[in-house]
Amino acid sequence: MTQKRSRFLLYIPLVAVAIFYLIPVYVMLVTGFKGFEEVNLKTMWDLPTGIRFDNFIEAYNKLAPYLWNSINMVLPAAVISSILGSLNGYVLAKWKFKGADIIFPLILFGMFIPYQSILIPLVEFMKTINLYGGLPGLVLTHIIYGIPITTLTFRNYYATIPKELVEAAKIDGAGMMGIYWNILLPISIPSFVVVLIWQFTQAWNDFLFAVVLTSPSNWPITVALNNMAGSQIVAWNVQMAGSFLTALPTLLVYIFLGRYFLRGMMAGALKG
């Protein structure tokens, strides 16, 4: 009896914290679904009287081009850095060359650097190769700074595959690429999902690279949203709806592929 009651008590702090986590979502949605005439900072916490889409439509009209910029930038960035990470991980786990043990931590360090320390050369470099201002330069940036984490995740995964599998294929005459293509690649689909959604989320949520590398017409949605939030002209209710639109793609990924998202997140902590 007391056992049961004390277990029940555990829910009190959990529910309290859950409310704290959901407050911003509540405000975003409640405000988003209100009609323009209902919107008032005084009644911020009240439920809407009906479901209206005014704010979302207004926010979408303002943010749509930037939403597409984000989509066009994120997809190639995620796919290419995942492929590179997979190849690197394969070599660093199964075909260590001389010096591989020194190269690996040197690559990993790239994952932690504050990007302010490379920002000036990055901008100058992109200007020199004529990729400054547009999306391709931003894509290239996300690919390269994504290499450390994608390499780490794949290396850790391939390290769990028994050595004997590779050795046996070698004896059968398979080459390095053959073994990768026929044996390891087919079983690394789950890792690809992990890395793809991680890179997708990272690139989608990035602000710093986007704000220094792209010109206004090529802004991804995070930069456009921040700009909208800083302006006095766009009402706060539209800002809320815009925030929701910006968060929606990564939230959907989280809701439907949460398990994989979690694994990507743990990989970032190295030891997990």
Partner 1 sequence: MRSNKENWQSFLLVLPSILAVAVFVYGFIAWSGRVSMSQWKGLTPDYTWRGLTNYIELFSDARFAIDVRNTLIFTVIFVFGSLVLGLILALLLDTGLRGEGIFRSIFLFPMAISYIVTGVVWRWLMNPATGSRTSGLNLLFDKLGLDFLINQWHTTPYWGIAAIALPAIWQMSGYCMAIYLAGLRAIPDELREAARVDGASEYQILSGIVLPLLRPVTLSVMIILGHMSLKVFDLILAVAGKQLPLDVPALYMWQVTFDGLFYGRGAAIGILLLLSVAVLIIPYLFYSLRSEPEL
Query: In whole angstroms, how close is the CB of 127 to partner 1 at the nearest point?
Result: 10
Judged by DSSP in three states, 4 sits in: helix
Binder among 3, 5, 7, 171 for partner 1 (CB under 8 A): 7
Q: Does 17 bind partner 1 (CB under 8 A)?
A: yes
Segment 45 to 64, residues that bind partner 1, using CB under 8 A: 45
Q: Does 44 bind partner 1 (CB under 8 A)?
A: yes
How far is 184 from 160, CA to CA, in rounded Å? 11
Binder among 1, 2, 112, 172 for partner 1 (CB under 8 A): 112
Segment 127 to 146, residues that bind partner 1, using CB under 8 A: 141, 144-145
State the DSSP string of 37-68: GG--GGGTTSPPSS---HHHHHHHHHHHHHHH
How far is 101 from 91, CA to CA, in rounded Å? 11
Judged by DSSP in three states, 154 sits in: helix
For tokens 């809320």, what's the residue? 240
Q: Does 102 bind partner 1 (CB under 8 A)?
A: no
Q: Where are the alpha helices (DSSP H) in the chain?
A: 2-9, 11-32, 54-94, 100-109, 119-128, 135-159, 163-171, 176-179, 185-187, 189-205, 208-213, 221-230, 236-267
Q: In the complex with partner 1, which residue's Cβ is closer, 10 or 51?
A: 10
Query: In whole angstroms, how close is the CB of 25 to partner 1 at the nearest point?
Result: 8
Per-residue contact track with partner 1, 166 to 205, x per CB under 8 A? ----------x------------------------x--xx
Candidate ranges 59-67, 129-137, 147-155, 188-196; the one touching partner 1 (CB under 8 A): 147-155
Query: In whole angstroms, how close is the CB of 135 to partner 1 at the nearest point?
Result: 18
Q: Does 104 bind partner 1 (CB under 8 A)?
A: yes
Of 208, 201, 206, the closest CA to residue 253 belongs to 201
